Amino acid sequence: MNKILFVIASLFVIGSIQSASAAGDYNDVPPNDPQFKQCLAYSKKNYEGGDEKSPIPGQSKAVAFCECMWNETPDDFKGNLAKFSESAAGKKTNKTCEKYSNWGE
């Protein structure tokens, strides 16, 4: 009986850890990061629905998308994250971040 309870408790703990890490997997963007701010401004200007709630607690779809783009691009990338997502080179990253933020086609 004790072994069964131990197994059940272990599965519960593993499930809790996995679900907690599923939302908000990315590093937080530093406050006042210019690339992130630029991504938000460009996204709000050119796309609809960015202010809607994302699957990430406390984040709009635009914030979650730009956070994802900021984390998914190489550290030495200095361009516009949102424009990069529209390019052929950024297509895969765009798809990842659209899924992460639940914002896209």
Structural domain boundaries of the chain? 30-105
Structure tokens given for 46: 């050119």
Write down the pLDDT at residue 16.
40
- The rounded average pLDDT for each run of 10 residues, N- to C-terminus, in the chain (105 residues) is 53 44 76 95 94 95 97 94 94 96 87
Q: How far is CA 67 from CA 15, 46, 82, 83, in A?
A: 25, 17, 11, 14
Write down the pLDDT at residue 104.
82
Write down the pLDDT at residue 2.
58
Spatial distance between the Cα atoms of 73 and 69, rounded to a whole number of angstroms: 6
Write down the pLDDT at residue 42.
96
Phi and psi (nearest 5°) for 44?
-65, -35
